[in-house]
Amino acid sequence: DVKVTQSSRYLVKRTGEKVFLECVQDMDHENMFWYRQDPGLGLRLIYFSYDVKMKEKGDIPEGYSVSREKKERFSLILESASTNQTSMYLCASTSVQVDTQYFGPGTRLTVL
Binding site for another protein (CB under 8 A): 4, 31, 33, 40-43, 45, 48, 50, 56, 58, 90, 92, 94, 96-97, 99-106, 108
Alpha carbon 73 to its chain centroid, in Å, reads 10
Nearer Cβ to another protein, position 80 or 110? 110
For residue 78, what are the contacts with CB-CB under 8 A and spacing of at least 6? 13, 17, 18, 19, 21, 63, 64, 85
How many residues are recorded in the chain? 112
The CB-of-93 to another protein minimum distance in angstroms stands at: 10
Q: How far is the CB of 49 from another protein (least distance, A)?
A: 10
DSSP for 70-103?
Answer: ETTEEEEEESS--GGG-EEEEEEEE-TT-SS-EE
CB of 104 to another protein, least distance (A): 5
- Report the nearest approach of another protein to the CB of residue 78 (Å): 20
Nearest to another protein of 14, 57 (CB atom): 57
